């Protein structure tokens, strides 16, 4: 592997030390918002909204008690029903991830392993749709889903995933292109159909790319705010993103400690997922799309 830092390689010790110093400050600045979120989430309300600058609640020994108190309040609140929103979000995420990964892979196969007239046109169309802003589709989608009777159900949030998405198709197509075609040819000589080549050759070789697509879609669902905002009106159907903003819109007095506890709960599955898959994630996320 080449040494990528060659353009800035500094041989002198003071320069290197300065770089580390600057990077440490920067790392602190980037993590501070999350640390402060955690810190607020374990304080009683009076201490959260005070001029003090402490990481832990006042008698440090009360930390656990306050943390338990805040988090259980968030979890068992009767009006803002966190477990329900978590369940809804998980339904959308799981159904969506399965559909998105499968169908994007199928389409990517058609765009990379089969030679056919018009393939480039379809591929160009796929790329072109990537730049269409969602707000452009907001009004007609609302009307389409209303006429289907899907508004105020979770369907508008996961059914479209079963048709693939431009970005994920693009990502997988780029990955499939790197798999040598001799493999398909050998399989075809053995009498394999496209379907079995897809399942027995391409899919097993593409696990890292498929994992990236699955992760991307999971994060997308966790993140999606505008979709649920438009399609869902009934609080029982809310996802986490919609539920979280209920805290703020309630009254003038935001219970900051509870809001931060709820935010922490919302973020933690993603952070855990990231830590479990860090390798695949950081290595593939960026690179696949560009080659």
Partner 1 sequence: MTALPAAHVPPRGRAERRARTRQLIAGLAWCSPWLIGSSLFVFAPMVMSLYFSFTDYPLLEPPLWSGSSNYQQLFHDPTFLRVVKNTALYAALSIPLYTIFALVLAAAMAGRARFTSFYRAAVFVPTLVPLIASAMVWMWLFNGEYGLINKVLALVGIRGPAWVVDESWVPVSMVLMSLWSVGQGVVIYIAAMQDVPRQLYEAATIDGMNAPQRFLHVTLPMISPAILFNVISLTIAAVQVFAVPYVIFRRPDGQNPAGHYYSMYLYENAFIYGKMGYASAMAWLQLLVVMALTGVLLLVGRKLVHYSRL
CA-CA distance, 47 to 225, in Å (whole number)? Answer: 31
10 binds partner 1 (CB under 8 A): yes
Nearest to 107 by CA among 155, 55, 58, 173: 173
- Asked if residue 88 binds partner 1 (CB under 8 A), the reply is no
Enumerate residues 240-269 that contact partner 1 by CB under 8 A.
Answer: 240-241, 244-245, 247-249, 252, 256, 259-260, 262-263, 266-267
Closer to partner 1 by CB, 6 or 61: give it.
6
1 binds partner 1 (CB under 8 A): yes
Q: Is 278 exposed, middle or buried (0-12, 13-18, 19+ CB in 10 A)?
A: exposed
Least distance in angstroms from the C-beta of 237 to partner 1: 16
Cα 136 to Cα 59: distance, rounded to the nearest angstrom: 53
If you ran DSSP here, which 8-state letter would residue 131 be given?
A: T
Interface residue with partner 1, options 57, 96, 164, 255 (CB under 8 A): 164
Q: Which of residues 94-153 bind partner 1 (CB under 8 A)?
A: 103, 106-107, 109-111, 114-119, 122, 125-126, 129, 131-144
Stretch that binds partner 1, among 78-86, 176-184, 202-210, 226-234 (CB under 8 A): 226-234
CB of 204 to partner 1, least distance (A): 18
Residues 187-206 that bind partner 1 (CB under 8 A): 194
| Number of separate helices (H) and strands (E) present in the chain | 15, 0
Cα 14 to its chain centre, rounded Å, is: 40
How many residues in total does the chain contain? 291
């Amino acid at each position: 592997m080449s040494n990528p830092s060659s353009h800035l390689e500094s041989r002198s010790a003071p320069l290197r030390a300065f770089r580390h110093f600057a990077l440490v400050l920067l790392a602190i600045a980037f993590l501070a918002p999350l640390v402060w979120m955690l810190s607020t989430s374990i304080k009683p309300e009076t201490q959260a909204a005070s001029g003090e600058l402490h990481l832990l609640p006042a008698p440090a020994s009360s930390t656990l008690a306050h943390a338990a108190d805040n988090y259980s309040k968030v979890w068992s609140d009767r009006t803002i029903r966190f477990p329900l929103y978590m369940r809804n979000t998980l339904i959308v995420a799981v159904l969506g991830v399965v559909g998105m990964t499968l169908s994007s892979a199928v389409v990517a196969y058609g765009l990379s392993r089969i030679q056919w007239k018009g393939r480039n046109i379809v591929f160009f169309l796929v790329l072109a749709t990537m730049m269409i802003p969602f707000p452009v589709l907001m009004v007609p989608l609302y009307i389409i889903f209303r006429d289907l009777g899907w508004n105020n159900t979770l369907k508008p949030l996961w059914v479209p995933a079963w048709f693939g998405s431009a970005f994920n198709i693009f990502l997988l197509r780029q990955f499939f292109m790197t798999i040598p075609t001799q493999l398909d040819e050998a399989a075809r000589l053995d009498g394999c159909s496209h379907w079995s080549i897809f399942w027995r050759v391409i899919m097993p070789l593409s696990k890292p790319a498929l994992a990236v697509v699955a992760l991307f879609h999971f994060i997308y669902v966790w993140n999606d705010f505008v979709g649920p905002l438009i399609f869902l009106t009934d609080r029982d159907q809310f996802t986490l993103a919609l539920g979280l903003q209920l805290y703020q819109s309630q009254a003038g007095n935001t219970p900051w400690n509870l809001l931060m506890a709820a935010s922490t709960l919302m973020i933690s599955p993603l952070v855990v997922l990231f830590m479990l898959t860090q390798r695949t994630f950081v290595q593939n996320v960026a690179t696949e799309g560009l080659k």
